Amino acid sequence: MQLPLRYRFLQFLVGIRNWFAAQLITLTLWIIRLVPLKYAAGFFEKFARWLGPKIWRHKVVMDNLAIAFPEKSIEERKQLASDNWAQMARSLVEYIYLDEIFDLDEDHTESDRIEIKNAEQFLKLRDDGLPAILFTGHIANFELLPLVSSRFGLEIQSMYRRPNNPHAASKVAEARKEYGKNLVASGAGSSFQLMSALERGDHVGLLVDQKFRRGIKIPFFGKEANTNPLLAKLARRYDCPVHGARTIRLPNGRFRLEITDALVLPRDKNGDVDIRGTTELVTNVVEEWVREYPEQWLWMHRRWG
Q: What is the pLDDT of residues 33-69, one digit of tens each?
A: 788 888 998 999 999 999 999 999 999 999 999 999 9
DSSP annotation of 287: H
pLDDT at 18: 66
CA distances from 242 to 47, 132, 183, 283 (A): 39, 6, 19, 13
CA atoms within 13 A of residue 64's CA, in its CB half-sphere? 22
DSSP annotation of 273: B
Average pLDDT across the chain, whole number: 83
- With 0-12 / 13-18 / 19 or more C-beta atoms within 10 angstroms meaning exposed / middle / buried, residue 50 is exposed
Give the 3-state secondary structure of residue 219. strand
CA distances from 215 to 136, 218, 281, 282 (A): 18, 9, 15, 14
Among residues 96, 95, 85, 101, the alpha carbon closest in space to that of 45 is found at 85
Q: Which of 119-128, 136-145, 188-197, 229-238 has the highest mean pLDDT?
A: 229-238
pLDDT at 93: 85
pLDDT band at 273 (very low <50, low <70, confident <90, very high): very high
Which of 158-162, 179-183, 288-292 has the lowest average pLDDT?
A: 179-183
